[in-house]
Amino acid sequence: MVSGDKDFHIHTKRCKHASGEPQEYVEQAIRMGLKEIAFTDHIPLPHGFDRAHRMDPDELDDYVNDVLTLQKQYSEIVIHLGIEADFIDGFEPFLEKTLNAYPFEIKILSVHFLAHWPQGNWVFQYNFPGKPIKEIYAEYLQAVKRGIETGLFNVVGHLDLIKRPNMPLLKHNEREVREVLAAARENGMAIEINTSGLRKKIGEPYPDFSFLPLIAEYGLPVTLGSDAHAPQQVGFSFDKVKKVAKIKELK
């Protein structure tokens, strides 16, 4: 069953678009009765790529040390060191070197950018006039699959992040979704249910609830992540997701 007492996707203000001190996230988790959390801030990328939305390379050591220090300070909750790492074609050597240099327990695979997309297009904002949404979704899912096949990660983050309102990804691209889930199973990965979409205009988690039977079919473990960028977002809507997952008999 999906555990509602573990939040395995939490950011810090080092990413430049979050607020609050790390201790505030921990204390909020304790107040909510969570048993485990994972800090998973955005990995710095080479060549200053997307520098405005992630820590600088020279902050990575401090980020790791901050989390390791929190582990020693709080005995009432388990704190995991994690990272959210963008997979972008061509960055594999950098990712391998960085992910292996630190004792990360949770390594979330995220795809926010596609290497061959023109600058200015990313999963939250893309414009390809005349290109069917199915093709756009397929390109994204193929990138996710390539990321999985590197073997560098252990969690697939917000799987349908690219979806547009009223254009569900599973409805348009079930074949590619199945390929992603099969690859995740082969590589021993978990699928994240990310609740941040429930506090956004999209109004549903990533992936949406229609994915749950398919995740169960492939026998994949699940993690819950609030994608918290502020202390009050820790554990956001976990009760709702846990209830739906129980109904659908998700492992």
Q: How far is residue 193's CA from residue 190's CA, in Å, rounded to a whole number?
A: 10
pLDDT the model gives residue 245: 78
Q: How far is residue 220's CA from residue 191's CA, in Å, rounded to a whole number?
A: 7
pLDDT the model gives residue 50: 81
Where do runs of H (alpha helix) occur along 52-173? 60-73, 92-100, 133-149, 169-172
pLDDT the model gives residue 48: 79
Rounded to the nearest 10 degrees, the angle between the axes of helix 174-186 and helix 133-149 is 10
Architecture in CATH of 6-247: Alpha-Beta Barrel (3.20)
pLDDT the model gives residue 118: 87
pLDDT the model gives residue 33: 97
Q: How far is residue 187's CA from residue 229's CA, in Å, rounded to a whole number?
A: 29
Q: Is the pTM of this model over 0.75?
A: yes
Per-residue pLDDT tens listing for the chain (251 residues): 567 899 999 999 999 999 999 999 999 999 999 999 999 999 999 887 888 789 999 999 999 999 999 999 999 999 999 999 999 999 999 999 999 999 999 999 999 999 989 877 888 889 899 999 999 999 999 999 999 999 999 999 999 999 999 999 999 999 999 999 999 999 999 999 999 999 999 999 999 999 999 999 999 999 999 999 999 999 999 999 988 877 665 54
What are the structural domain ranges in the chain? 6-247
pLDDT the model gives residue 56: 92
